[in-house]
Amino acid sequence: MNEGPYTHQASDSAYHFTAAALRAGHEIVRVFFYHDGVNNGTRLSVPPQDDRNVSERWSELANEHGVELILCVAAAQRRGLLDEDEAKRAGKDSNNMAPGFQISGLGQLIDAGIQADRLVVFGD
């Protein structure tokens, strides 16, 4: 998942695809957020009331179906997506990561490619 929420449809497409895969009984090994995709992991988003909440929707997939949502640490640091630990380590006074997301390394993308039967890329 290579693009952030709202700006490109990629995040919506990936969400609908993931939800459909779960409906069909498939196991989702992991959703890996890279490039601007890490911006999906913010809990500070306040979309208009008549619009979808992209980040919350991902968090719900993690909460309800145990889907692993991983933000690439290097991509997240560049773009200012931090969990509590990362914020402390970097000496930042606040953090912004949404529940259900975890920060990890790029190796998790390769590992997913090895483990999963199929890998689908969504982006710009």
Partner 1 sequence: MSVLHIINKSPYDRSSLDTCLRLAQPDSAILLIEDGIYAVQKNAAAAQKVEQALANHQIYALQPDLEARGINPDNMIDGIALVDYDGFVKLTTDYDKSQSWL
Partner 2 sequence: MATKKFLYVNRTAPHGSIYAQESLEVVLIAAAFEQDVSLAFIDDGVYQLMQNQDTSGIGSKNFSPTYKALGDYDVSKIYVEQESLELRGLGKDDLMPLTYEDEDDDWAEKDSIHVVSSKELAEIIDQQDVILNF
Structure tokens at 86: 């990362």
Structure tokens at 109: 């993308």
55 touches which of partner 2, partner 1, a second copy, none (CB within 5 to 8 A by kind)?
A: a second copy
**φ/ψ of residue 4, rounded to 5:** -75, 175
Q: Are 9 and 17 in contact (CB under 8 A)?
A: no
Reply yes or no on whether 72 is catalytic. yes
107 touches which of partner 1, a second copy, partner 2, none (CB within 5 to 8 A by kind)?
A: partner 2
Q: Contacts with a second copy in 59-118 (CB under 8 A)?
A: 74, 77-82, 86-87, 90, 92, 94-96
80 touches which of partner 1, partner 2, a second copy, none (CB within 5 to 8 A by kind)?
A: a second copy
Please count the residues of the chain.
Answer: 124
Distance CA 124, CA 122 (A): 7
CB of 116 to a second copy, least distance (A): 26
Distance CA 80, CA 96 (A): 8
Q: Does 20 bind partner 2 (CB under 8 A)?
A: no
Residue positions annotated with a catalytic role: 72
